A and B are shown apart, each in its own frame.
Chain A
């Protein structure tokens, strides 16, 4: 199996390449594009990124594993993240997590994350990356069952 960026992304990469002084700097943008395209970052995608950025494969892999948002495994379910850091915990994130695990873990993968910069809207969750703030169990039920 091999990986190639689709036309739209290839065009984006061409533009991006002009915006950085070195190809290596494209690494994070390329990982993002690959993840957008396939839903995760496959070994094949990393091989392709290694070619474009002219860095060894291991470098790509090492970088990809440093950042928590890069997913190297295919996901079977959509992801709901719950922030577990202080402001959210003080506002009841533990109960939210419990509610999610008990009611939605069949359809969604429930993941705990650290502060998302939404402490003013604590407790908060994300659904496929989109912020949902001041969440309550009822609100989550509505959003998650509707989607």
Chain B
């Protein structure tokens, strides 16, 4: 089926939302309250379009396409409508972009620019509301910047069903709030910051650290658990500082995480900035060590298929028994995104037939005198007496060991992962050169 938007035919399915068709086809349609994974509410009135044959402009988020539908987003009259609504939206907004964290990714700011609303008609005093209100979970609210789209409220009432946020008051004194003595407190709370189309909700964690227009993004996958939520890694490198990662943002994947992330995963970016110290040893020292008779290796089940494969080949070549055990944490999973298996690619481990038997591993460990750990968390914390341990690691090792080789973490890697539902997905590296080699580079330098 075809419809026509701004004189251009677009292929779509009967009954789809017009706004979805537009968003999926790159048509610019201003909107605040509609969000593809929260659904429609129809309160902001920003997405007005002209529909041929309709008396009045209609909201695209509540219009369902049918054969022959013709919509316009650009005509003079619809532009005037959008402009007038935007102007009302800006009425009580402080327009403090220079000190707002959202600047650069604020829809209000975008639309304000594109409708050229510099000359505001505003000649009456603005309504005063609360600034810098801590809601809990590190989320800060500025009620004056809020456009009352209710995305955040709908997230806590419809998605997490925890219902901490709500609108209080009425009319122009309506505002988002948590109830007195209560706070925003659920394992997915930070999503509201990302959902907020303006700078009303910000994260204490990210506030004022970086202007977003200085950030680059890499398409990656969260390594927090086996769900494999899709993310953007936002990072930059300046003349004076090395590459640094500022945050994870959700990357929409309808099948897996929609537009959401759990807070644990979202905040796990911090570990990626850790500077890992290698023992100043060349790989060549392995030559001697490998002479020891019984060797056993453990590989992290969060490594990509490509990494796992090169570890597998390496171990085969050196006659090392290879194991991988999942990271099970019974207290972590829930009935939504989080899974008890905190490893990212255990399905990949199984696909490659790497041994996953814990008893066999313990037996081999008992008999071995050299242990090679490929970034497996358990062995980074477990002190093993009277045996030599070599680590290839993305984090610093705090227990005594024979040698430590720092390797690049997943932000500086590309590869493939298989998630808990068997979905195969690619992730990509950030663009700056890392000081630390990748595991595969290191393993190529044969001992």
Q: Answer whether A and B touch in the complex at a CB cut-off of 8 Å.
A: yes
B163 A59 Cβ-Cβ under 8 A: yes
Identify which of A22-30, A60-68, A93-101 touches chain B.
Answer: A60-68
Contact A65:B180 (CB < 8 A) given known A56-B164, A58-B163: no
Give the residues from 64 to 80 in chain A that come closer than 8 angstroms, CB to CB, to chain B. Answer: 65-66, 68
Residue interface bits B176-198, CB-to-A below 8 A is 1, else 0: 00111110000000000000000
- A58 and B169 contacting across the interface, CB-CB below 8 Å: no
Complexed CA–CA distance, A58 and B181 (Å): 11
Chain B contributes a number of interface residues (CB within 8 A of A) equal to 15
Q: Shortest 8 CB-CB distances between A and B: which pairs?
A: A56-B163, A62-B166, A58-B166, A65-B168, A61-B179, A58-B179, A58-B163, A66-B170
Residues of A within 8 A of B163 (CB): 55-59
In this complex, the member of A43, A61, A62, A68 whose beta carbon has the largest number of chain B beta carbons within 10 angstroms is: A62
Enumerate chain B residues within 8 angstroms of A62, measured Cβ to Cβ.
166-168
B162 at the interface (CB under 8 A from A): yes
B370 beta carbon closer than 8 Å to chain A: no
A59-B163, A66-B168 known; 20 new pairs, CB 8 Å cut-off, are A43-B180, A43-B181, A57-B163, A57-B179, A58-B163, A58-B164, A58-B166, A58-B178, A58-B179, A58-B182, A59-B157, A59-B166, A61-B166, A61-B168, A61-B179, A62-B166, A62-B167, A62-B168, A66-B170, A68-B170
Q: Which residues of A contact B (CB under 8 A)?
A: 43, 46, 55-59, 61-62, 65-66, 68
Q: Is B303 an interface residue (CB 8 A)?
A: no
Residues of chain A with a CB closer than 8 A to B170's CB: 65-66, 68
B390 sits at the interface (CB 8 A): no
Which residues from A are CB-within-8-Å of B167? Answer: 62
* Count: A-B pairs, CB below 8 Å: 35
Query: Which residues of B approach A to under 8 Å, CB–CB?
Result: 157, 162-170, 178-182
> Which of A56, A57, A58, A61 gathers most chain B CB within 10 Å?
A58
Residues of A contacting B169 with CB < 8 Å? 65-66
Residue pair A58, B165 in contact (C-beta under 8 Å): yes
Once the chains bind, are A56 and B181 in contact (CB under 8 Å)? no
> How far, in angstroms, from A134 to B362 measured CA to CA in the complex?
92
Q: Once the chains bind, are A56 and B157 in contact (CB under 8 Å)?
A: yes
Interface centre among B165, B180, B182 (most CB of A within 10 A): B182
Q: Which residues of chain A have C-beta atoms less than 8 A from B168's C-beta?
A: 61-62, 65-66
Most chain B CB within a 10 A radius of its CB, from A43, A61, A68:
A61
**Shortest Cβ distance from B331 into chain A, in angstroms?**
24
B165: nearest chain-A partner, CB-CB: A58
Report B-chain residues with C-beta under 8 Å of the C-beta of A68.
170
| Minimum distance in angstroms from A122 CB to a CB of chain B | 24
Alpha-carbon distance A65/B171, docked complex (angstroms): 11
Q: Collect the chain A residues with CB atoms within 8 Å of residue B166's CB.
A: 58-59, 61-62
A68 vs B171: C-alpha distance when bound (angstroms): 12
A residues less than 8 Å from B182 (CB atoms): 57-58
Could you pull out 18 A-B pairs where Cβ atoms are within 8 angstroms? A43-B181, A55-B163, A56-B163, A56-B164, A57-B163, A58-B163, A58-B164, A58-B165, A58-B166, A58-B178, A58-B182, A59-B163, A61-B179, A62-B167, A65-B168, A65-B170, A66-B169, A66-B170
A58–B182 Cα distance when bound, in Å, is: 9
Within the complex, the shortest CB–CB distance from A24 to chain B, in Å, comes to 12
Instruction: Give B123 Cβ to nearest chain A Cβ, in Å.
Output: 25
CA distance A46 to B168 in the complex (A): 14
Q: In the complex, which residue of chain B has the Cβ closest to the Cβ of A57? A: B179
When distances are taken between beta carbons in the complex, the residues of chain A under 8 Å from B179 are 43, 46, 57-58, 61
Q: In the complex, what distance in Å separates the CA atom of A48 from the CA atom of B444?
A: 66
**Distance between B169 CB and nearest chain A CB, rounded to angstroms:** 5
Roughly how many angstroms separate A65 CA and B175 CA in the complex, as a whole number? 11
Bound CA span A46–B165, Å? 15
Query: How far does the Cβ of A22 sit from chain B's closest Cβ, in whole Å?
Result: 16
Provide the residues of chain B in CB contact with A46, threshold 8 Å: 179
User: Whose C-beta in chain B lies nearest to the C-beta of A62?
Assistant: B166
Write the nearest CB–CB distance from B310 to chain A, whole angstroms.
50
Most A CB within 10 A of own CB, among B162, B166, B179: B179
Bound-complex Cα distance A72 to B242 (A): 54
- Separation of A46 and B166 alpha carbons in the complex (Å): 15
Which residues in A have their C-beta under 8 angstroms from that of B180? 43
